[in-house]
Structure 1
Amino acid sequence: MDEIYDYLSGKTILVTGGGGSIGSELCRQIAGHQPKQLIIFDVYENNAYDIEQELKGKYPGLNLVVLIGSVRDSRRISSVFETYKPDIVYHAAAHKHVPLMETSPCEAIKNNVMGTYKTAYAALKNGCQRFVLISTDKAVNPTNIMGASKRLCEMVIQSVDMISKQDREDLLPLLGRHYEDSEETEQLSEHFAASKNASGRSRRTEFVAVRFGNVLGSNGSVIPLFKKQIAKGGPVTVTHPDIIRYFMTIPEAVSLVLQAGTYAKGGEIFVLDMGAPVKIDTLARNLIKLSGYKPDVDIKIEYTGLRPGEKLYEEKLMAEEGLTKTQNDLIHIGRPIPFDVEKFLGQLETLAEFSYSNSGHICELVKEIVPTYHPAEADLKMHGKVYEELLQEAAVTNQAG
């Protein structure tokens, strides 16, 4: 934790989605490392208010700013960066619920992809030192639009990092309705020119992503749901008897995110070691037992079937990616999959047009941009080698536990 302390101390730090499960824990841990200023940015005022009151009570000397707004609002997010000039950004703002995004795919693209792009754009043009994207294992070979949108977010980060390294801000398109005004486009170009230092280069911004699986106790996760179902006398609903997931506690995941940020050089996708996968069915049965009941006797378990876009297991890495180690055994770096950045930025413009017009063909376009996205193959790997290996690993873990 010493290197994390040294890294965060005295810095102005912005957390988008700062009221959410991951975002609020980021704020808690950052607040304990003496930042110069902590800025919480969230669209949902109730969550933002809750974490604000918690931090004010625990850290009365903290220089805390809480702002309401959406990362989809180009002018709003730009004004935040221009006003506060954050040194470090942790971008946790996102739509995360898989089934909900399946029925509202354009919203997944607007909020996750366009929101990430606009926030990264503002970070670059305002000389931010480091930008850390919170990603997910659902971005690997995605079978749902939420996972595909997070893979697009990773590609956005890698693209903007390349542009930052090569000083090619001229390649960046202005996406969304808020940038249609030609006068504003001219103002933004002038702002970029003014931000150049004496050597003719903007201050380098390092963009990285940190990818991990499910966290225990987050909003909408299975543990709170199972607890509510048990309190009502059941049934406890599990989508499939063989479904498995990787889990980590929120504080542990956030600590590793903060540490991964200290390793960043730009363009990496950090992958957290989530340990062995856990069968959700076993998780439900253990929770019933811990609550003092007998599974299938006192509390029934019902299997409801895989939800839209859901698959039996999540992968930590795409087949094309390899892993390299860091100083921490729980943090690895995936080798980025190469792609044509200029072509991707052009596709991003088309994606913005599709999403803001609420096109019914948004998923087809995403498939063209993300070749690993296969929405119709949610359960085709059920009997595959990878799944069988993970199932065996989960069984060993369950027996040991």
Structure 2
Amino acid sequence: MKRSKSGLAAAIVGLSRPQKRAIILGVDMALAVLAYFVARPIFDMSGADAVFSIEGGLPLLLTVMVVGATSTILQIPSTQLKAYDAKNFGWIGGLAVITALVSWALHEIGTYSPPAGFFFVFGITFFVLSTSSRLVLLEMLFAIYRMRGTRSRVIIYGAGTTGIQLARALGAHERVEPVAFVDDNPALQRLTIAGLPVLRPADIETVVQDRKVKRVLLAMPSLSRAKLSQIARRLETLGLTVQVLPSFSQLVGEEPLVAKLKTLSPAKLMGRQTFDRRAEGVRNLRDKSVLVSGGGGSIGSELCRQVLGCRARRLVIFELSELALYETERALRPLADEAGVELVPVLGSVTEARLVRHVLQTYAIQVVFHAAAYKHVPIVECNPLVGLANNVLGTWTLARESHAAGAERFVLISSDKAVRPTNVMGASKRLAELVVQDLAARSTGTIFSMVRFGNVIGSSGSVIPLFKEQIAQGGPVTVTHRDVTRYFMSVEEAVSLVLVAGSFAAGGEVFVLDMGKPLRIWDIAARLILESDSTVKTADNPDGDIEIVETGLRPGEKLHEELMIGQAHISTQHEKIFCAREARLSEIEVASAIRALREALATGDEAAASAVASRWVEGYAAHRTGTRPAPAPVVAPAEAVMAEATDDDTGPLVVAPTPA
């Protein structure tokens, strides 16, 4: 029996649209006959049996046919049951009036003519029966859906105007059944609105278990995105799927449906105008064969993009990450084809001496931009051996092989963290600078130079993308210290100045870019919160949307960064580029540092590696024992690095792509 009911329900639901229209039309025509006989007993009419004669029955038959024709012309059967409103009921009223008038005219023409009041009652009765039939059919349809168990039960979070409208709309939905409201307003709790109880947020778990609810619809479009995110995260912990009802402005296209932060321009964030004239005045790259190491990173990929704009002859993208290399090559390929530049992706590490040598010689590299480095301070702090191997020995290998291959220029992309560093990453970058300075002093052909600048806005691992992610999740936003400051620059501006600085380098310079005034990270976090249409939660504003939490400085993190080791610097031919005057190590000292570092890496001796940095890098002091857990030895990678860095490489040759 249950199976037959289920089959009947499936058959009814599976009716085609023409079949459903035919049923509604048949119901209206049958109700016209019923209304006719319901109205007759009200009047004491003579010739009551005349209706069953041909003369009396013909007007009724014609009236029923008029109902069918008029209803079809007005497209009344085409309206879905769940879509009926005052306008649709008005069309049924019009049908009832037309039916009554036509019936009166037909009876006047015939031999059987009831009183005029009969037709008024007939029209009213037909209207009531027709409109009531819609409600009855709709309830029958809901019963069928409930019988089939296909309606998904949901809770509506928010019993305001939007929530009430949503509940009414879903009340006629074939697949969604609202079971209750939830609202934070105590004045609305325990009331019944739109036929649904209004519950407290604390009651959600009980309702979910009792009514088998799987979804919650957030119907509070006026609430800030941060508050919505906080509520959504709390509901998701109960295993619920959370959906947000868009606001009216989103529905009409004035706001994106996906919550996004507003675009904050670098100039607005940094409080100054930025230099964004890409590689303006750079002519030394035209028709050159250029290599960019770390070409898949934030700075490296922008370097590649602007090098293409300088009309180089060939661009070699040297990258360790296969995914980053793939994404960068795919993005740059159309630009390279348009500019007529040969684009060569090379997968590998700058610590692989034989691969580096092969690439430099095969593609006759003339200009090298070295942007490959491990730069995330906490990660390098936990992996000092790998960080020093890549940043120091990788730079030494690439710079030495560039000189041996006869490259014209070598530009090292450095960091402000290299100035009196307090972390391994900064110490490794300063050692890399010292290596390049030493090669510059001894080079008779290749021009070596370094460009040092601060944080790049929006680069991978920087605070701004992290802040945006935290804000999108509803907070809190984490800042290591309330007073910590950093220099910021847009990636386009930084790369433009790198290319300009590299073009007029004479050899050995440490170029420092004008970064403007350092910015307080706490202020940046607050500004980004405000730009996301949220408010900052503070002691003075406890009802704010997102809180900024101070987590404490991480190991090796400085409160304020510097751009120059000393105060002495000279201007250059560009107003945003300065040249720092800094002491350098002698050839013997650099050789001693490299040898000691290679030995430490070969044995996996972290303490010995830190001692090298402490000895030769001004301002750096290795962390005391116990400040962080010592990582496991990395003997195998260190041995590979040492082997690849020797003059008589015996390892296997890694073959790079051959030029087209």
Output the TM-score relative to the length of structure 2: 0.50
Alignment partner, residue 220 of structure 2: none
Asked whether the 8 Å contact 1:18–1:92 carries over to 2, the reply is yes
Deviations 1:75-111 (A, max 9, x none): 1111111211211000000000111111111111100
Asked if 1:146 corresponds to 2:425, the answer is yes
Secondary structure class of the residue paired with 2:536? coil
Instruction: Specify whether residues 220 and 342 from structure 1 end up closer, same or farther in structure 2 by C-alpha distance, changes over 3 A only.
Output: same
Work out the CA distance in 2 between the residues paired with 1:65 and 1:338. 35
Work out the CA distance in 2 between the residues paired with 1:357 and 1:71. 21
Matches within 5 A, 1:1-400: 4-60=281-337, 61-165=340-444, 204-296=445-537, 297-319=544-566, 322-361=568-607, 362-375=609-622
Instruction: Specify whether residues 338 and 116 from structure 1 end up closer, same or farther in structure 2 by C-alpha distance, changes over 3 A only.
Output: closer
Secondary structure class of the residue paired with 1:347? helix
Secondary structure class of the residue paired with 1:93? coil
Asked whether the 8 Å contact 2:454–2:489 carries over to 1, the reply is yes
Instruction: Specify whether residues 246 and 375 from structure 1 end up closer, same or farther in structure 2 by C-alpha distance, changes over 3 A only.
Output: farther
Work out the CA distance in 2 between the residues paired with 1:288 and 1:281. 11
Deviations 1:289-321 (A, max 9, x none): 0000001110111111001110111001113x5
**What displacement does 1:336 show?**
2.7
**What displacement does 1:153 show?**
0.5
Alignment partner, residue 178 of structure 1: none
Work out the CA distance in 2 between the residues paired with 1:271 and 1:345. 26
Asked whether the 8 Å contact 1:56–1:62 carries over to 2, the reply is no
Matched residues, percent identical?
47
Letter of the 1:309 counterpart: G
Work out the CA distance in 1 between the residues paired with 2:623 and 2:349. 32
Work out the CA distance in 1 between the residues paired with 2:506 and 2:524. 38
Alignment partner, residue 382 of structure 1: none
Secondary structure class of the residue paired with 2:356? helix
Deviations 1:341-369 (A, max 9, x none): 21221221111111232212121221012
Asked whether the 8 Å contact 1:206–1:267 carries over to 2, the reply is yes
Secondary structure class of the residue paired with 1:41? strand
Letter of the 1:88 counterpart: V
**What displacement does 1:375 show?**
4.5
Work out the CA distance in 2 between the residues paired with 1:335 and 1:20. 29
Work out the CA distance in 1 between the residues paired with 2:493 and 2:557. 25
**What displacement does 1:2 show?**
7.5
Asked whether the 8 Å contact 2:279–2:497 carries over to 1, the reply is no
Asked whether the 8 Å contact 2:434–2:584 carries over to 1, the reply is no
Larger-gyration structure (1/2): 2
**What displacement does 1:51 show?**
1.2
Work out the CA distance in 2 between the residues paired with 1:360 and 1:138. 21
Secondary structure class of the residue paired with 1:157? helix
Letter of the 1:65 counterpart: V
Letter of the 1:128 counterpart: A
Secondary structure class of the residue paired with 2:598? helix
Alignment partner, residue 627 of structure 2: none
Work out the CA distance in 2 between the residues paired with 1:18 and 1:63. 15
Deviations 1:206-234 (A, max 9, x none): 11100000000000011110111011100
Output the TM-score relative to the length of structure 1: 0.82
Letter of the 1:218 counterpart: S
Q: Show structure 1 runs of 5+ residues with no match.
A: 166-203, 378-401
Letter of the 2:547 counterpart: K
Q: Show structure 2 runs of 5+ residues with no match.
A: 1-277, 538-543, 625-660
Asked whether the 8 Å contact 2:529–2:536 carries over to 1, the reply is yes
Asked whether the 8 Å contact 1:3–1:262 carries over to 2, the reply is no
Work out the CA distance in 1 between the residues paired with 2:335 and 2:443. 38
| Count of aligned residue pairs for this structure pair | 338
Secondary structure class of the residue paired with 1:15? strand
Asked whether the 8 Å contact 1:140–1:147 carries over to 2, the reply is yes
Letter of the 1:347 counterpart: A
Letter of the 2:283 counterpart: D
Work out the CA distance in 2 between the residues paired with 1:2 and 1:233. 39
Asked whether the 8 Å contact 2:336–2:343 carries over to 1, the reply is no
Secondary structure class of the residue paired with 1:7? coil
Secondary structure class of the residue paired with 1:300? strand
Secondary structure class of the residue paired with 2:478? strand
Asked whether the 8 Å contact 1:4–1:258 carries over to 2, the reply is no
Secondary structure class of the residue paired with 1:99? helix
**What displacement does 1:32 show?**
1.1
Work out the CA distance in 2 between the residues paired with 1:348 and 1:211. 22
RMSD: 1.4
Work out the CA distance in 1 between the residues paired with 2:562 and 2:618. 16
